[in-house]
Amino acid sequence: MAIIKSILDTDLYKFTTSYAYAKLFPRACGEFEFVDRSNGNYPDGFDELVRKELDEMANLRLSREEEAFVRSRMTYLPPIYVDFLKGFRFDPSEVEVTLVNNKLAIRTSGLLYRITLWETPILATVSELYFQATGQYPEDHYMEEVAIEKAKKLKANNIRFSLFGMRRRFSFDVEDRVTALLKQYAGNSFFGTSNVYLAYKHNLHVSGTHPHEWVQFHASIYGYKMANYMAMEDWINVYDGDLGTVLTDTYTTDVFLRNFSKKHALLFTSLRQDSGDPFVFIEKVIRRYEELRVDPKLKYLVFSDSLNVDKAIEIKKHCGDRIGSTFGIGTNLTNDVGHNIKGMNIVMKLFRCKMTAKEQWQECVKLSDVDGKHTGSEREIRIAQETLGLA
């Protein structure tokens, strides 16, 4: 049985970003690369297992029931894009998979509105295959018990949260079961899930934000100093006020807040923190809203960096009644399946892009609020840091 069983088994931001590329940059090309931040070893033949799963994805089709869900629940995606999804087929030739000295390398290359859709299914596939290939299995009783305990604790502390656990889940079955348990035991505290298929299956809200790649792409076009500003402007142009959460740490939160104008502060509902110290982040953002004469009590912060339940409770208390808080909890919910099983620390990031096929590739980098999360060549990271005054 294939790991990815539906085109919708992916995070919401893949579709929203795909449509944004298609609308504004339909000829733009990009290359994503797989990064294992732990630099782990993979079993012999692992590349062949991944290749087989990706080849199977060519057979996926959007069903009529799935189409109806997208049209009715994701109305910010226009009919023309839903029609595109109806005809969309994954093309495995867009993906290169190699294993050298037990180090896994994966690269996707092609038109950005297409290849962006590979990212999260590839990560989920690698994660599930790795646990299978290394003989690790979930302890079902433990997994259900801790999921229920976490759901009840989140509800008791009035923590508003979504499940952001698709990319590094233990398996599809675990994510599916955890989603059901959260819906059953967390009540109204459970806002929804970023996984579109599981939102469809369990009748939940679909939640998500735009990704780092959107800002990285804009940096390659407009330069590092204008990347955040133009990424926000273009997101507004595409979605006209819908999907009003913006990611702050692609080139550090300090740089983002310099680009964050009163217009953006009024139009965007929330800011997402994905690296660094959340308590420092809270103070910086509140101070910036106050500088712009925007009441922070009317806004929300979305926290999604390596969260667990206790950390979310602590962050909510720190926010108090000064600013709203909501949480995207991922691996701690979809990969807490046994006493000795540890979730993977894997990502796929945009490393190169260009506006048309005829142009030369431009390097893309990501600077985080934590040094260990930078991605890209050392040379280009240094250029970005010097340009932004971060060297």
* 140-334 fold: nicotinate phosphoribosyltransferase (3.20.140)
Q: What is the pLDDT of residue 154?
A: 98
Backbone angles phi, psi at 137, to 5 degrees: -130, 145
Is residue 391 within 8 A of residue 255, CB to CB? The reply is: no
Answer whether residue 391 shows pLDDT above 80.
no
State what percent of residues in the chain have pLDDT above 90.
Answer: 96
Query: H-type helices in 186-308, by residue range?
Result: 196-202, 212-222, 227-239, 253-259, 262-267, 278-291
For the chain, give every residue range classified as CATH 3.20.140.10.
Answer: 12-136+343-372, 140-334
What mean pLDDT comes out for the span 328-334?
A: 96
Q: How far is CA 115 from the centre of its chain?
A: 15
Q: Could you give the CA distance from residue 363 to residue 369 in angstroms, rounded to a whole number? A: 20
What mean pLDDT comes out for the span 232-257?
A: 96
Class of residue 391 by CB neighbours under 10 A (exposed 0-12, middle 13-18, buried 19+):
exposed
What mean pLDDT comes out for the span 6-33?
A: 98
Identify the architecture of domain 12-136+343-372 in CATH: Alpha-Beta Barrel (3.20)
CA atoms within 13 Å, Cβ hemisphere of 319: 24
- Angle, alpha carbons 63-68-74 (nearest 5°): 115
Q: How far is CA 77 from the centre of its chain?
A: 18
* Residue of 166, 187, 201 whose CA lies nearest to 333: 166
pTM over 0.85: yes
Q: What is the pLDDT of residue 320?
A: 97
Query: H-type helices in 57-139, by residue range?
Result: 64-73, 79-87, 112-115, 119-133
Paired sense of beta strands 103-111 and 362-363, if any: unpaired
3-state secondary structure (DSSP) of residue 28 = coil
Both structure tokens of 264: 């953006």
Q: How far is CA 305 from the centre of its chain?
A: 11
Query: H-type helices in 223-261, by residue range?
Result: 227-239, 253-259
Q: What is the pLDDT of residue 179?
A: 98
Q: Could you give the CA distance from residue 241 to residue 103 in angstroms, rounded to a whole number? A: 43
* Residue of 353, 346, 272 whose CA lies nearest to 106: 346
Is residue 186 within 8 A of residue 163, CB to CB? The reply is: no
Residue 354 CB contacts under 8 Å (≥ 6 apart), including other chains: 28, 29, 30, 220, 360, 361, 362
Give the tens place of pLDDT for each residue, 273-307.
999 999 999 999 999 999 999 999 999 999 999 99
Q: Could you give the CA distance from residue 192 to residue 56 in angstroms, rounded to a whole number? A: 28
3-state secondary structure (DSSP) of residue 191 = strand
pLDDT band (50, 70, 90) for residue 230: very high
Answer whether residue 383 shows pLDDT above 90.
yes
Answer whether residue 1 shows pLDDT above 90.
no
CA atoms within 13 Å, Cβ hemisphere of 373: 17
Answer whether residue 210 shows pLDDT above 90.
no
Please provide the average confidence, as pLDDT, over all residues in the chain: 96
pLDDT band (50, 70, 90) for residue 372: confident
Give the tens place of pLDDT for each residue, 85-104.
999 999 999 999 999 999 99
Q: What share of the chain is helix, strand, coil (3-state, %, to 5)?
A: 50, 15, 35
Q: What is the pLDDT of residue 124?
A: 98
Give the tens place of pLDDT for each residue, 51-71.
999 999 999 999 999 999 999
Q: Could you give the CA distance from residue 68 to residue 200 in angstroms, rounded to a whole number? A: 10
Is residue 111 within 8 A of residue 28, CB to CB? The reply is: yes
Is residue 196 within 8 A of residue 8, CB to CB? The reply is: yes
Q: Could you give the CA distance from residue 134 to residue 143 in angstroms, rounded to a whole number? A: 19
Residue 7 CB contacts under 8 Å (≥ 6 apart), including other chains: 60, 61, 62, 66, 85, 88, 90
